[in-house]
Amino acid sequence: MSRLKIAVQKSGRLNQGSIQLLKDCGIVIDNGKDQLKAPARNFPLEILFLRNADIPQYLEDGVADAAIIGENVLIEKPNKAEVVQKLGFSRCRLSLAVPKNVDYAGAEYFEGKKIATSYPYTLQTFLDKKGIKAEIHVISGSVEIAPNIGLADGICDIVSSGSTLFKNGLKEVETLLKSEAVLAKSQKISAEADEILQKLLFRIRAVLEAQNTKYILMNVPNDKIEEVSALLPVLKSPTIMPLKQKGWSSLHTVIKEDTFWEVIDKLKAAGAEGILTIPIGKVVL
């Protein structure tokens, strides 16, 4: 039986989010401690636990059919893998940072300076676009310490909250790119594996849609139903159920998380009362 081979980060920022996403898709994974390969119990899928930096090559060689990986890693190691879905977790940015006491006026500061980074390709691309000549020192880890030990004048590294920069006496001054976890597929994926990937993608999109959606219930005077319904960005149309109290109905629908408060204010102004929200597990469109 054909299986989809999907690579995920062995350890680090993306590992937990990747495994949780697959579990949210109803996929049960039999993985023990220190396993580098684990099959799914109820879906034709096999997980390869790999070093983050190695995943792009596995995709390019076709050893992995697909991967959950940081978009920044694919950009740093360009290959022919195709991003098929952004996943919305492990958001971060690749930024330049300098010591806090530096009077920074712009990217020209880095002219003739030394920059420590684990992302030389992305950094060089940025510098070339700006017409800046700088010396790049490639470091595989603990980049933040470089300015403190005199190795570099600044760094280029992944930033999430910025707390690591702060602890090391650095400040963020330029954002080169924004990144998040993505689902990518190899150009060498077989037709059978691609068919399985599309089934997985269907589940992933249902999970992602639910994460940005709330189910809401509200009581509405019957003479306000049309006005309230017109305010609702629903999948098709709201469900309306009569209440015991004469002249009132219960209206049920879904609403996007990013417009929630704006819409709620309008609903209240239009006469809706007793508004309740319920989390949604999946949204199958």
pLDDT digits (tens, 9 = 90+) for 69-109: 999 999 998 878 999 999 999 999 999 999 999 999 999 99
Residues 6+ apart with CB under 8 A from 186: 59, 60, 61, 62, 64, 65, 66, 81
Report the percentage of the chain scoring pLDDT > 90.
Answer: 71
Beta-sheet strands, E only, within the chain: 4-9, 37-39, 45-50, 66-70, 82-86, 92-99, 114-117, 135-138, 154-159, 170-179, 181-185, 213-221, 239-242, 248-256, 273-279
Mean pLDDT of 26-31: 86
pLDDT in tens, 127-145: 999 999 999 999 987 899 9
Domains of the chain: residue spans and CATH: 4-89+180-210 (3.40.190.10), 92-179 (3.40.190.10), 213-279 (3.30.70.120)
- pLDDT grade for 247, boundaries at 50, 70 and 90: very high
Over residues 267-276, the pLDDT tens digits come to 999 999 999 9
Predicted confidence (pLDDT) at residue 33 exceeds the cutoff of 70: no
Distance between first and last Cα of the chain: 29
Stated pTM of the model: 0.83
Residue 178 confidence class, pLDDT cut points 50, 70, 90: very high
Q: Which residue in this structure is represented by tokens 């980049």?
A: 143
